[in-house]
Structure 1
Amino acid sequence: MTDLHRLSIRELAEGLKTAQFSSRELTQHYLNRIAKIDSHVHSFVTISPELALAEADAADGLLKSGMAGLMTGIPLAHKDIFCTKGIKTTAGSKMLDNFISPYDATVVAKGKEAGLVTLGKVNMDEFAMGSTSESSYYETTRNPWALDHVPGGSSGGSAAAVAADLAPIATGTDTGGSIRQPASFCGLTGLKPTYGRVSRFGMIAYASSLDQGGPIARSAEDCAYLMNVIAGHDAKDSTSVNKEADDYVANLNGTSVKGLRIGIPKQYFNVAGLDADVKARVEESLKKLEEMGAILVEIDLNMTEAYVPTYYLIAPAEASSNLSRFDGVRYGYRCENPVDLMDLYKRSRSEGFGPEVQRRILIGTYALSAGYYDAYYVKAQKVRRLIQQDFLKAFESVDVIAAPSAPTTAYKIGASLDPVEMYLGDIYTIAVNLAGLPAINAPVGFDKDNLPVGLQLIGNYWSESQLLSVVHQYQQATDWHSKRAAIAEENA
């Protein structure tokens, strides 16, 4: 029973079904690991042992009665951006440090319906704004592969928890790479679904036209199991698409790699700042896919230089609008002894928001202000359409597009990245959100410092099954996804 954390979701489900262990034993195993290991990693903001064990006992009842579903009794961690009834939901911010949601996000509710057990809430960049998890109000989460490095962001806590084997799966959100980049930095598989595939109801908004929830796990197979739970239409979310979700687990071998046309954008492999080790590992993974029968096709994505400026106008503009609700009046942080309403607004927001969030609110408010709206925001939306068309043209000749997930491996904690440098690190991920496309990260090796490198595959709309299937077959032929950081090998 000491190695339950080394089992895949399929193996855990089989073990629960055949009573090799109970959900309570499995949940307690993970709670023990969190108690022993998370003081080094700092992935959790809130641990909920009483709730977890109560949910595990309920799952055991269903398992005994034969009423259990495929995922009943399996623990998971939720990114602290999903509202959870009765548990603190902070979005990594002082602004929400005292907020206990009165309802569950749809993703959380679907997890409960499926019998999943909530271990707790994991850390993130404040309001999902950042690529390192260092902008969190709470302790900086550390990368299990190297504790003096960041796990990526904004879903850094989700990636760190899975990479340290403190949870078998975790939910994340991706507004500009926040599932794929931390998955890359922590040697995991992470899927950003098509916009509208997973409900945003109860997910605290950063940029509403870009945000999308998805799974972070060790393998494509594990991601598919969680996608089967969280994907699907939700009437509570006006941007949720009324299109039946696939059976992602059943489709894991549904796409043949033989004959698959993989687009290689030449602009992506000539980006200044692309680390030589990252480039080499990604090219080796593409060579492997070619050996498996894929066809590599060089393509042009001519709008590459427009990605960063377009994203960093649209996302902050939407953030400035979404975050205006945090005003110190209804809920969340409120300054002490305000002298009048204006003082209440000013001090509650300046004391409650961290510097990165304040920076993006100011950029967004400027872009939306009279006299600048047409020059900046409207123009960025027009360029966004051109970026989308650039991808759609490419998909006329290829099935998927390959790229690094990030130009480098994980940064050191406290690395003196100025904001623009940090934003440029999102070059390979943000266009996918601007276009609303699905994309997946797969671990493909390590750099000279033994830090993980990720390959990103981008698909056409609604091609999550195809992406999971291609990565699943790659993972049958390689073992990068099964490599573990030293800290994950500790028994509890």
Structure 2
Amino acid sequence: MTGTAMNNDRISAIDLAQNVRSNVTTAADVVEQHLARIAERDGEIHAFNLVLADEARARAVEIDEMISAGRDPGPLAGVPVALKDNMCTQGIPTTCSSKILADWRPPYDATVVTRLRDAGAIFVGKTNLDEFAMGSSTENSAFGPTKNPLDTTRVPGGSSGGSAAAVAADFAPISFGSDTGGSIRQPAALCGVVGVKPTYGAVSRLGLIAFGSSLDQIGPFTHTVADAAVALETISGHDPGDSTSIQQGPLDLSRTLELGVAGLRVGRITDLPTGASPDVEQRIEEAFDALRAAGAEIVDVEVPAFSYGLTAYYLIAPAEASSNLARFDGVRFGMRTAAPDTNQMYMATRTEGFGDEVKRRIMLGTYALSAGYYDAYYGRAQKVRRLIANDFAVAYEKVDVLLTPASPTVAFEMGDKASDPLAMYLCDTYTIPSNLTGHPGMSVPFGTGDHGLPVGVQVLAPALKDDVMFQVGAALERSAPPRSAGSGEGSAS
């Protein structure tokens, strides 16, 4: 399908790939343009832990040679792509923004990396994140925080803040992050880009360094819904190397983008947890109005257990993290701190290698799994998870999708919540439930809020209804109010 031209002479990833494939431009020129932008601004923003300039240039030469020889490199031919630094890249450092993996070079590629390379993508760097994807602001990185390109006094969101910032700053037309409790959708909202968490199991997790194995999912950041559709189609589909991978082919999304929403039922959750700021609530109401004007039916529904998502998640996710991070012990890979005996080495390595937030969640998870507390905490949280899934199932009998905020507020100031973990956790109020249920969710930019900063509207859909979610997301994109030029002080407009 045809891509969509964007503001400020920005070209969509779809059109960029088409231009490379048809010799309108070369992959080498495209790469140089993006590396120049990275060199100009990333010292200020710190979207990347590692810029792969030499590798990108060499790959661009390969792409151009393939085209000269009459071969099609794939749907993402010559498109610069940034990868969150928790996705394994063979021979290239993969750190999870943690000291404990600072020098680790994986012996294999993640499945999504292989699929992107096979589609002609060019990797320009590994992006910064909250350490081991634990955070909502990208301030928890061992290598320093990432700043929001729209206002560098503010956070880009997290944990995939580096990936969101890379697209927002035009360092790459497409980036990829992981979403365990909102880590794609929340930073997408704060940076004013599209961010998608697909149905759990639609994209392989092989090679994604695990945080919460029953929650993690990889998805794209882009400037347009159409680019996100192509990016997700490229990486989705069954992978026999991932036991949680759904037995189906790649997602079919692009065909739905022009269908409109006439006849679709869009749910408004009447018992949604409070906490969204007035500017965000205003944009959500305008989104409902826009979809109604486009022919959708707005239906009030209840999801009573939605409000329990946060508490259930912060028992289940730390419990899984406690188990997954036990492998980082200074023995097989990663850093090792010298000590007189093995037990002291374990303790010294993990004490020095993990940051405060990671330690906090490991301790919480270990406690929740410990003898005498398992049933009271972890077991009960899993029962609540089932209640949440049941309530969503009832709601989806009445509607095709649900609309909520992606983030309670626009991007907040650096350091504003860093010393208050609970305040930070509340940033994920609206995104967490779909991780617990395995349902898809996406954030679509929809105008601006306080300080002229972007607001993201979240579209939620039942499992394996990613295509309907994209159908609604595309309609929202077409009806979105213009975003204020630049950033800085201003009122919602």
TM-score (norm 1): 0.95
The answer for the alignment partner of 2:458 in structure 1 is 456
Assess if the C-alpha contact under 8 Å between 2:18 and 2:77 holds in 1.
no
* 1:421 CA drift (Å): 1.5
Change (3 A) 1:157 1:409: same
Q: Give the Cα–Cα distance (whole angstroms) in 1 for the partners of residues 436 and 155 of structure 2.
A: 25
Q: What whole-Å deviation, never above 9, does each CA across 1:24-66 have from its counterpart, x for those lacking one? A: 1101110111001111111000001111111111111222223
Assess if the C-alpha contact under 8 Å between 2:448 and 2:484 holds in 1.
no
Q: Which amino acid aligns with 1:376?
A: Y
Assess if the C-alpha contact under 8 Å between 1:5 and 1:165 holds in 2.
no
Residue 115 of structure 2 aligns to a residue whose secondary structure is helix
The answer for the alignment partner of 1:324 in structure 2 is 326
Assess if the C-alpha contact under 8 Å between 2:189 and 2:443 holds in 1.
yes
The answer for the alignment partner of 1:368 in structure 2 is 369
The answer for the alignment partner of 2:235 in structure 1 is 230
Change (3 A) 1:386 1:486: closer
Please tell me whether residue 214 in structure 1 is matched to residue 216 in structure 2: no
The answer for the alignment partner of 2:56 in structure 1 is 52
Q: Give the Cα–Cα distance (whole angstroms) in 2 for the partners of residues 484 and 392 of structure 1.
A: 41
**What runs of 5+ residues in structure 1 fail to find an aligned partner?**
488-492
* 1:11 CA drift (Å): 1.5
Please tell me whether residue 265 in structure 1 is matched to residue 269 in structure 2: yes
Q: What whole-Å deviation, never above 9, does each CA across 1:392-441 have from its counterpart, x for those lacking one? A: 11000000011001111111101145111111221100000000000110
1:153-164 → structure 2 map (5 Å cutoff): 153-164=158-169
Please tell me whether residue 445 in structure 1 is matched to residue 427 in structure 2: no
Q: Give the Cα–Cα distance (whole angstroms) in 1 for the partners of residues 434 and 112 of structure 2.
A: 22
Pick the aligned partner of 1:187 from 183, 192, 206: 192
Residue 6 of structure 1 aligns to a residue whose secondary structure is coil
Pick the aligned partner of 1:150 from 151, 155, 161: 155
Q: Give the Cα–Cα distance (whole angstroms) in 1 for the partners of residues 442 and 35 of structure 2.
A: 29
Q: Which amino acid aligns with 1:262?
A: V
Q: Give the Cα–Cα distance (whole angstroms) in 2 for the partners of residues 484 and 209 of structure 1.
A: 40
Q: What whole-Å deviation, never above 9, does each CA across 1:437-480 have from its counterpart, x for those lacking one? A: 00110011111301111100100111111111221233233364
Between 319-328 and 4-13, the greater mean CA deviation after superposition: 4-13
Assess if the C-alpha contact under 8 Å between 1:172 and 1:179 holds in 2.
yes
Q: Give the Cα–Cα distance (whole angstroms) in 1 for the partners of residues 268 and 13 of structure 2.
A: 32
Assess if the C-alpha contact under 8 Å between 2:446 and 2:476 holds in 1.
no
Between 413-422 and 438-447, the greater mean CA deviation after superposition: 413-422
Residue 176 of structure 2 aligns to a residue whose secondary structure is strand
Displaced runs of 4 or more, over 6 A: none
Please tell me whether residue 67 in structure 1 is matched to residue 71 in structure 2: yes
* 1:484 CA drift (Å): 6.6
Pick the aligned partner of 1:466 from 442, 458, 468: 468
Please tell me whether residue 85 in structure 1 is matched to residue 90 in structure 2: yes
**What runs of 5+ residues in structure 2 fail to find an aligned partner?**
1-6, 489-493
Q: Give the Cα–Cα distance (whole angstroms) in 2 for the partners of residues 292 and 6 of structure 1.
A: 27
TM-score (norm 2): 0.95
Q: Give the Cα–Cα distance (whole angstroms) in 2 for the partners of residues 133 and 113 of structure 1.
A: 30
The answer for the alignment partner of 2:395 in structure 1 is 394
Assess if the C-alpha contact under 8 Å between 1:76 and 1:119 holds in 2.
yes
Q: Give the Cα–Cα distance (whole angstroms) in 2 for the partners of residues 486 and 425 of structure 1.
A: 21
The answer for the alignment partner of 1:118 in structure 2 is 123
The answer for the alignment partner of 2:491 in structure 1 is none
Residue 254 of structure 2 aligns to a residue whose secondary structure is coil
Between 445-454 and 119-128, the greater mean CA deviation after superposition: 445-454
Change (3 A) 1:409 1:325: same
Q: Give the alignment's Cα RMSD to 1 decimal.
A: 1.5
1:253-402 → structure 2 map (5 Å cutoff): 253-254=258-259, 256-268=260-272, 271-335=273-337, 337-402=338-403
Between 351-360 and 464-473, the greater mean CA deviation after superposition: 464-473
* 1:485 CA drift (Å): 4.3
Q: Give the Cα–Cα distance (whole angstroms) in 2 for the partners of residues 77 and 476 of structure 1.
A: 26
Identity fraction in percent: 46
Q: Which amino acid aligns with 1:175?
A: T
Residue 332 of structure 1 aligns to a residue whose secondary structure is coil
Change (3 A) 1:486 1:17: farther
Q: Which amino acid aligns with 1:387?
A: I
Residue 183 of structure 2 aligns to a residue whose secondary structure is coil
Q: Give the Cα–Cα distance (whole angstroms) in 1 for the partners of residues 54 and 84 of structure 2.
A: 19
Assess if the C-alpha contact under 8 Å between 2:232 and 2:251 holds in 1.
no
Q: Give the Cα–Cα distance (whole angstroms) in 2 for the partners of residues 293 and 135 of structure 1.
A: 44
Q: Give the Cα–Cα distance (whole angstroms) in 1 for the partners of residues 71 and 484 of structure 2.
A: 35
Q: Which amino acid aligns with 2:239?
A: D
Q: Which amino acid aligns with 1:461?
A: A
Please tell me whether residue 422 in structure 1 is matched to residue 424 in structure 2: yes
The answer for the alignment partner of 1:490 in structure 2 is none
Q: Give the Cα–Cα distance (whole angstroms) in 2 for the partners of residues 23 and 366 of structure 1.
A: 51
Between 196-205 and 12-21, the greater mean CA deviation after superposition: 12-21
The answer for the alignment partner of 1:109 in structure 2 is 114
Residue 303 of structure 2 aligns to a residue whose secondary structure is coil
Residue 121 of structure 1 aligns to a residue whose secondary structure is strand
Pick the aligned partner of 2:39 from 27, 35, 42: 35
Q: What whole-Å deviation, never above 9, does each CA across 1:158-197 have from its counterpart, x for those lacking one? A: 0000000011000111000000000000011111000000
Q: Which amino acid aligns with 1:41?
A: I
Q: What whole-Å deviation, never above 9, does each CA across 1:285-310 have from its counterpart, x for those lacking one? A: 11111111111111111012311110
Please tell me whether residue 136 in structure 1 is matched to residue 141 in structure 2: yes
Between 319-328 and 412-421, the greater mean CA deviation after superposition: 412-421
